[in-house]
Amino acid sequence: MPHRSPGAPGHRGGNYLSGKVIKYYRPKGSAEVRHLIDHGFQAFNAGRLSEACNIFTEKMMLPEHETTVGLTIAGALTPAGLGGCVIEVIERGLVDFIISTGANLYHDLHYALNFSLHRGSPFLDDVELYEEGIIRIYDVLFPATVLLETDKYIRDFLVRSKLSGAMSTSEFHYRLGLDLMEQNPGCEEYSVVAHAAKSGVPIYTSSPGDSSIGMNIAYHELMNGSTLMIDPNRDVNEVCAIILAAKKNGCVILGGGSPKNFYLQGQPTLWEVYGIPKGGNDYFIQFTTDQVVWGGLSGATPAEAVSWGKVNPGVLPDTVVSYVDSTIAFPLFCEYAVGSEHNRRPRKELVHKREALVADLLEQAKKVGDEKPIQDEPAEIDRHR
């Protein structure tokens, strides 16, 4: 591990926020980067990254495939400045829905509200940082006041919007995005949440209580008696309905974590629970640092997902995992995609179609229920066996 103890070279002492402000980087489609990926990235994980770029641009993006693309985001990517890549692929219609950790959406709000996160070092004295009121995410530094001010904005939004009752996270994030644009006109150019709302891209969170957004919703219930309730059932059904309606399904998975499974479970929800066989995901791209040997879902391969009916067994050549830090892989991947022939698609604006898609899911599921043969009464169990 590249660890240096506090005070060793690299310790900046004092002026912790003097590093450059982290800005969202927007990929431009650099021909040099494309050349590097096509000709320089030939083997090992560079080879897999090159393969991922090809699967995305030459297969998933082909207009005739009409692939519905889900992007999943785990790891602290918005604090690291990767929100600009996400905005670019949303704006170009290259992704149709997003499943993210709440943290990435919460930290995106700092950008929307014009607070600054700074480049720093991972080798600092955290006790000193604590005493100076500075928060550290690896080498990203910002004052604790950024958290307090962002939390205040969320609580003001909850009061102002009078949101009540049960709702999906996609609805909540859509309303939040609209509010951000109203409060800070133009912020959609530097906020994923705002840009997604503008472009009609639904954003889901697989564990809504697990972030400062969820923490402030909980506060609002306890302190203000709010009835607003994030309803994960709606999220499960909406994601499932989006997947069902797609001609082909494909995913770009950044990191692993619960967003990865929340996307992939859509196929088993269809065949195992609703009795609607969709055939599994058609394209699978993952950039991760997780290893398969630990047995966790984050590092599980597309081949393993076949056994669950999550990935179509016939499409394994169209699946790839590149074991690489996604703060490196994703900007390269996006540069490649933006510079490719199929670099823009009409946006599906699924946020406005969720109700109709869930109604279709219900109709198809009811049809399956009507067609099911009537089961014989289960034989009495011999308890003495």
Ligand X SMILES: NC(=O)c1ccc[n+]([C@@H]2O[C@H](COP(=O)([O-])OP(=O)(O)OC[C@H]3O[C@@H](n4cnc5c(N)ncnc54)[C@H](O)[C@@H]3O)[C@@H](O)[C@H]2O)c1
Which one-letter DSSP state was computed for residue 348?
-
- Residue selected from 255, 302, 331, 339 as contacting ligand X according to rule CB under 6 A: 255
Binding-site string for ligand X from residue 210 to residue 239, where x marks contact by CB under 6 A and - marks none: xxx---------------------------
Q: Look-up: residue for tokens 């704006």?
A: 91
Size of the site for ligand X (CB under 6 A): 22
Q: Is 91 in the site for ligand X (CB under 6 A)?
A: no
Catalytic residue among 310, 348, 366, 367: 310
Q: How far is the CB of 64 from ligand X (least distance, A)?
A: 32
CB of 149 to ligand X, least distance (A): 14
Residue from 72, 288, 322, 340 in contact with ligand X (CB under 6 A)? 288
Q: Which stretch binds ligand X (CB under 6 A): 19-27, 189-197, 207-215, 236-244?
A: 207-215
- 291 contacts ligand X (rule: CB under 6 A): no
| Annotated catalytic residue 23 | no
Contact residue for ligand X among 289, 314, 356, 366 (CB under 6 A): 289
CB of 49 to ligand X, least distance (A): 12
Closer Cβ to ligand X, 224 or 289, answer by number: 289
* Cβ 310 to ligand X shortest distance, Å: 17
The residue among 172 and 287 lying less far from ligand X, judged by its C-beta, is: 287
Our finding on whether 106 is near ligand X (CB under 6 A) is yes
Interface with ligand X includes 321 (CB under 6 A)?
no
Binding residue (CB under 6 A) for ligand X from 84, 257, 309, 339: 257
Q: Which residues are catalytic?
A: 310
